[in-house]
Amino acid sequence: MDLELLSKHVVTGSDGTAIFLFEPDQAFTPNPDGEGFILAPDVEVLDFLAIMDELNLERSEFNACGVVAVLLEKRQQGEMQEFA
């Protein structure tokens, strides 16, 4: 189980949401108001919990790591061109 990939590509919100980022290193820009970072306007994100729910997966670290690995592999194989 690769928790490093999970923590790199999935960002969770304090409201219980979770988004998946294909390019996390390019996803955030400094907040112009001066505090913290904000999501860059041209970044594609996926509703990570909705994906897990659609696959009927229990919300666990093990399953989440698997979903991250599959999403990254499918993108690398060119099967997710709309997010490339």
Q: What is the pLDDT of residues 2-51, one digit of tens each?
A: 788 899 999 998 899 999 999 999 999 988 888 888 888 888 889 999 99
Half-sphere exposure of 8 (CA within 13 A, CB side): 13
Give the single-character DSSP code of 33.
Answer: T
Q: Which two tokens stand for residue 3?
A: 């928790």
Domain boundaries, given as residue ranges, for the chain: 3-83
- Residue 68 near residue 75 (C-beta atoms within 8 A): no
Q: What is the dihedral of CA 72, 9, 69, 52, to 10 degrees?
A: -110
User: What pLDDT, on the 0 to 100 scale, is given for residue 63?
Assistant: 94
Strand partners, 47: 19
d(CA 63, CA 68): 9
Q: What is the pLDDT of residues 66-84, one digit of tens each?
A: 999 999 998 888 876 554 4
- Residue 22 near residue 8 (C-beta atoms within 8 A): no
